[in-house]
A = this chain, B = another copy of it.
Amino acid sequence: MPGTGSLWCVLTMQDALRTLSDYWTSRGCLTWQPFNTEVGAGTMNPATVLRVLGPEPWDVAYVEPSVRPDDSRYGLNPNRLQTHTQFQVILKPEPGDPQELYLGSLEALGIDLDAHDVRFVEDNWAQPAIGAWGLGWEVWLDGMEITQFTYFQQVGGQDLDPIPVELTYGMERILMAQQGVTHFKDIAYSRKPDGTVISYGEAFGQQEYEMSRYYLDDADVGINQNLYESFVAEATRMVEARLPVPAHQFILKSSHAFNVLDARGAISTTERAKAFGTMRRLMKETAALWVERREELGFPLLKTAPEREVPSKDTVDVAEDAPAATFVLELGVEELPPHVLPQTIDAIREAITAGLGASKLTHGSITVDGTPRRVFAVVEDVQAREPDSQTMRKGPKWSAAFDADGNPTKPLQGFMRGQGVTVDQVIKAEVGGNEHACVAIDTPGRPAPQVLGDLIETTVNGLRAEKNMRWNDPNLSFSRAVRWLLALWGDSVIPARVSDVVAGRTTYLMRTTASSVDTGRLADGTPVGHHEVGSANDYLPLITGGRINAFTDQRRSDIVEQTVALAERAGGVVDIEGNAELIDEITNLVEDPHGILGDFDERYLELPDRILVSVMASHQRYLPVRKADGTLLPHFITMANGACDDALVASGNESVLRARYEDALFFWNQDLEASTVKHFIPRLEQLTFENRLGSVGLRARRIADVAGVLGDAVKIDEQRRATLTRAGALAKFDLATSLVTEMTSLAGFVAREYAVRMGEPQAVADALYEMEQPHTTADAVPASTPGALLALADRFDLLAAMFGLGAKPSGSSDPYGLRRAALGVVRILRERPELAVLTIRDGLEAAASRLGEQGVECSAETMDAAEEFIVGRFAQLQRDEGRSADMVAAVRPSAVRPGVADVHARSLETLRTDEGFRSLVQGVLRISRIVPRGTSPQYDSSLLSDPAEIALHEVVSGFAAATDVQDFARRGQELVGPVTSFFDETLVMAEDVNVRAARLGLLASILIAAPSGLDWIAVDALVS
> Which residues of A line the B interface, CB within 8 A?
14, 17-18, 21-22, 25-31, 33-39, 46, 59, 63, 65, 67, 83, 85, 189-190, 192-194, 196, 198, 202-203, 205-207, 210-211, 213-214, 218-220, 223, 226-227, 230, 233-234, 237-238, 241, 243-246, 249, 293-294, 297, 300-301, 303
Contacts and interface: CB of A to CB of B under 8 A. Distances in A.
Nearest to A257: B230
7 contacts: A14-B25, A18-B18, A18-B21, A30-B189, A30-B190, A36-B83, A206-B245
Contacts of A234: 219-220, 223
B36 A37 contact: yes
Contacts of A196: 28, 303
Nearest to A248: B210
Contacts of A29: 190
Nearest to A26: B193
Contact of A190 (B31, B198, B205, B237): B31
B245 A210 contact: yes
A28 B297 CA distance: 44
A31 B17 contact: yes
Contacts of A26: 193
In the complex, which of the residues A36, A207, A294, A301 has the most CB atoms of chain B within 10 Å of its own CB atom?
Answer: A36
Contacts of A207: 46, 245
Contacts of A35: 36
B227 A243 contact: no
A858 to B, nearest CB: 38
Contact of A243 (B205, B213, B241): B213
Contacts of A46: 207
A298 to B, nearest CB: 11
B65 A33 contact: yes
Given A223-B230, A234-B223, A210 B244 contact: yes
Nearest to A13: B31
A213 B241 contact: yes
A193 B24 CA distance: 11
A300 B189 CA distance: 15
4 tightest Cβ-Cβ pairs between the two chains A and B: A210-B245, A28-B192, A214-B246, A30-B190
A199 to B, nearest CB: 9
A26 B33 CA distance: 21
A30 B198 contact: yes
Contacts of A25: 14, 18, 190
A211 B33 contact: no
A218 B243 contact: yes
A241 B219 CA distance: 10
Given A227-B227, A246-B214, A22 B28 contact: no
Contact of A214 (B59, B190, B238, B301): B238
A478 to B, nearest CB: 30
A18 B21 CA distance: 9
A189 B300 CA distance: 15
A246 to B, nearest CB: 4
B63 A33 contact: yes
Given A31-B18, A36-B36, A233-B223, A218 B194 contact: no
A31 B211 CA distance: 21
Contacts of A218: 237-238, 241, 243, 246
A194 B304 CA distance: 13
Contacts of A297: 206
A230 B227 contact: yes
A183 B912 CA distance: 87
A186 to B, nearest CB: 13
Given A190-B30, A230-B227, A237 B210 contact: no
A1022 to B, nearest CB: 65
A31 to B, nearest CB: 4
A205 to B, nearest CB: 8
Contact of A36 (B65, B189, B190, B198): B65
Given A214-B246, A245-B210, A193 B238 contact: no
A37 B34 contact: no
A1006 B21 CA distance: 95
A374 B668 CA distance: 69
B213 A237 contact: no
A206 B194 CA distance: 44
A193 B227 contact: no
Nearest to A189: B30
Contacts of A38: 36-37
Nearest to A300: B202
Given A220-B234, A238-B214, A293 B206 contact: yes
Contacts of A34: 33-34, 36
Nearest to A190: B30
B203 A30 contact: yes
A197 to B, nearest CB: 10
A735 to B, nearest CB: 27
B21 A301 contact: no
A293 B209 CA distance: 12
A263 to B, nearest CB: 13
Contacts of A65: 33, 36
Given A28-B196, A35-B36, 11 more contacts: A14-B31, A33-B34, A36-B67, A37-B37, A37-B38, A205-B300, A210-B244, A211-B246, A211-B249, A214-B246, A223-B233
Contacts of A219: 234
Contacts of A237: 218, 220
Contacts of A63: 33
A249 B67 CA distance: 14
A678 to B, nearest CB: 30
A219 B59 CA distance: 32
Contacts of A220: 233-234, 237
Which of A17, A220, A245 gathers the greatest number of chain B CB atoms within 10 Å? A245
Nearest to A67: B36
A59 B14 CA distance: 14
B22 A18 contact: yes
A67 B36 CA distance: 9
A30 B18 CA distance: 12
A249 B303 CA distance: 41
A67 B37 CA distance: 11
A26 to B, nearest CB: 7
A278 to B, nearest CB: 16
Contacts of A244: 210
A12 to B, nearest CB: 9
Contacts of A246: 210-211, 213-214, 218
A852 to B, nearest CB: 38
Nearest to A209: B245
A602 to B, nearest CB: 34
A21 B29 CA distance: 18
Contacts of A28: 192-194, 196
Nearest to A214: B246
A237 B224 CA distance: 13
Nearest to A85: B33
Nearest to A47: B203
A105 to B, nearest CB: 15
Contacts of A245: 206-207, 210-211, 214
A77 B782 CA distance: 72
A14 B22 CA distance: 11
Contacts of A189: 30
Contacts of A67: 36
Contacts of A205: 300
A226 B226 contact: yes
Contacts of A211: 245-246, 249
Nearest to A226: B230
A202 to B, nearest CB: 5
A93 to B, nearest CB: 14
Nearest to A294: B206
Nearest to A304: B196
Contacts of A194: 28
A301 B202 contact: yes
A541 B718 CA distance: 113
A294 B249 CA distance: 34
A192 to B, nearest CB: 4
A1004 B245 CA distance: 83
A205 B227 CA distance: 29
